[in-house]
Each structure stands twice: as C-alpha cells, then as structure tokens.
Amino acid sequence: MSGADTTHREYVRQLFSAHYLWLSARLSRSLNSSSYAEDIAADTFVQLLSTPQVLVIREPRALLTTIAQRLIYQLWRRRDVEQAFLKTLSSSDLEPAPSPETMAQLYQSLDRVERQLDKLPDKVKATFLLSRLNGMTYAQIAAQLGISQRSVSDYMNLAQSRCSKPDSTLLNSCSPKTREYV
C-alpha cells in the first residue's frame, strides 16, 4: 500500500466521521427511510474511497450530496427496470408464473446487465434503455437525445455487444418492440 493510498483513506475516514450522520439524516428526510438513507450514505463514501487519487475537497457536503443523489437516481432507475420487468412477466400469457429460482436467476441477470450498462458512456446507456424499455424507434431516440440516427445505431451496437456476453441472458428476454417475456 502506497503512502498516497493511506493518506486518501485517512482523508475519507475523516470526511466520514465528520459528515456521515449529517448525510444520513439529509437522505432520510428525502427518502422517507432511514435504512435506505444509511445504505446510500455508506455507498457515497465507498465511491469517494474508490477514487484513484487523493483529493482535497473544498465543499465536502456539496460533493457528498451530489454523489448520494446519483446513487439515489441509480436506485430509482433500477426499481423502474425491475417494475417494468415484473409487469411484463405478470402480463405474459406465454408461461405460468416463474418459480422463485427462475426469478432469482432473472434478478441476477438484470444485475449483471445493469453493471455492464453502468460501464458505458451516458448517451450509449440512455440510447439502449430508451430502445429496450420504452420501445422507441431510432428516429425518436435521435430526436430526444439530439444525436444522429447513425449515432443511435452505433450506440445500440456498442451496448448490445457489451451486454451480449453469455451471462447477460436478460437482453434476449425482453423484446424492444413488444416488451413481452419470451
């Protein structure tokens, strides 16, 4: 472990000691759940700890609030994806209700796809989600994001190649046009 790593960890520890309770309380008010607030606050400091260099933060509360808000948005997006997926599963007449084991596998697949998508640039991820979850055409996506249809096509190819690894079976379970369970 280098001296910079130790210094950075100590700096984040000091920030944690000084601001964790404040951040948890702030998040608890907006989330109406102390357990979610504590989880998001802890994840905020984990993200800060994972930064590659020692940073001197002039306004730590502003930075912590920004990181926490992004984590909340990720939580909400994931809930939306899960709800859309569950709605699709429940409205499907093709199969009886899936077993708990199947649901667990689907949630694991969803988590793996989400992790793969999080590695993509924001516009690529947005393009993929607008196509797969909202069933939008390339022209609609291009208009909404202010990019060319060629860029939409390139972004979709990039996202699909990233997420079409053998363990990402979820992509094949949701048709972009009908959003039905296959």
- Dihedral sign, Cα of residue 71, residue 77, residue 80, residue 85: negative
Angle, nearest 10°, between helix axes 138-145 and 122-132? Answer: 140
**pLDDT over 60 (residue 148):** yes
Low-confidence winner among 18-22, 53-57, 128-132, 164-168 (lowest mean pLDDT): 164-168
Query: φ and ψ at 77, to 5 degrees?
Result: -60, -40
Average pLDDT, the chain: 81
Would you state the pLDDT for residue 122? Answer: 85
Would you state the pLDDT for residue 2? Answer: 55
Q: CA 122, CA 105: separation in Å to the nearest integer?
A: 27
**pLDDT over 80 (residue 176):** no
Q: How confident is the model at residue 96 (pLDDT cuts 50, 70, 90)?
A: low
Q: Which two tokens stand for residue 175?
A: 């048709």
Nearest of 8, 106, 108, 1 to residue 55 by alpha carbon: 8
Task: Indicate the burial class of 172 (C-beta count within 10 angstroms; 0-12, 13-18, 19 or more).
Answer: exposed
CA dihedral (11, 14, 20, 21) in degrees, to 10, reads: -170
Q: How confident is the model at residue 175 (pLDDT cuts 50, 70, 90)?
A: very low
